[in-house]
């Protein structure tokens, strides 16, 4: 059975359209052959910015062990470092006493 829209959506149109998905992948494959970093490089899935109060970037940075590195570079409008004294144990929050009482296997996070 042939799809009724075959005249509009088909391989020939994809090949002829420079903005098609087909040509997008063709460009990606060419780039992969051209740039060694794409084949052998690594990447971290981190949010580059965070919209106001989203609260997700912190967890990305902690998960990727980059919190201190990133946060200690933040400056205020006068160029003063905002988190220069941020201590490593602050990456994890304290476990509430009520949770520890419910589960005796929990141990408090270091520094609290």
pLDDT tens by residue, 36-77: 877 777 666 666 666 666 777 788 888 888 888 888 888 888
Q: Which residues contact 88 (CB under 8 A, 6 or more apart)?
A: 68, 111
Residue 72: how many other CB atoms lie within 10 Å: 13
Single pTM value for the model: 0.44
Per mean pLDDT, which of 66-75, 82-91, 94-103 is the most reliable? 94-103
- How far lies 107's CA from each of 62, 63, 82, 92, 97, in Å? 19, 20, 30, 13, 10
**pLDDT score, position 45:** 62
């Amino acid at each position: 059975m042939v799809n009724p829209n075959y005249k509009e959506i088909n391989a020939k149109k994809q090949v002829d359209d420079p903005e098609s998905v087909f040509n997008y992948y063709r460009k990606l494959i060419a780039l992969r052959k051209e740039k060694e970093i794409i084949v052998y490089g690594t990447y971290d899935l981190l949010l580059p910015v965070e919209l106001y109060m989203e609260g997700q970037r912190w967890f990305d940075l902690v998960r990727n062990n980059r919190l201190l590195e990133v946060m200690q570079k933040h400056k205020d409008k006068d160029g003063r470092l905002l988190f220069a004294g941020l201590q490593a144990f602050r990456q994890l929050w304290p476990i509430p006493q009520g949770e520890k009482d419910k589960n005796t296997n929990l141990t408090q996070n270091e520094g609290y």
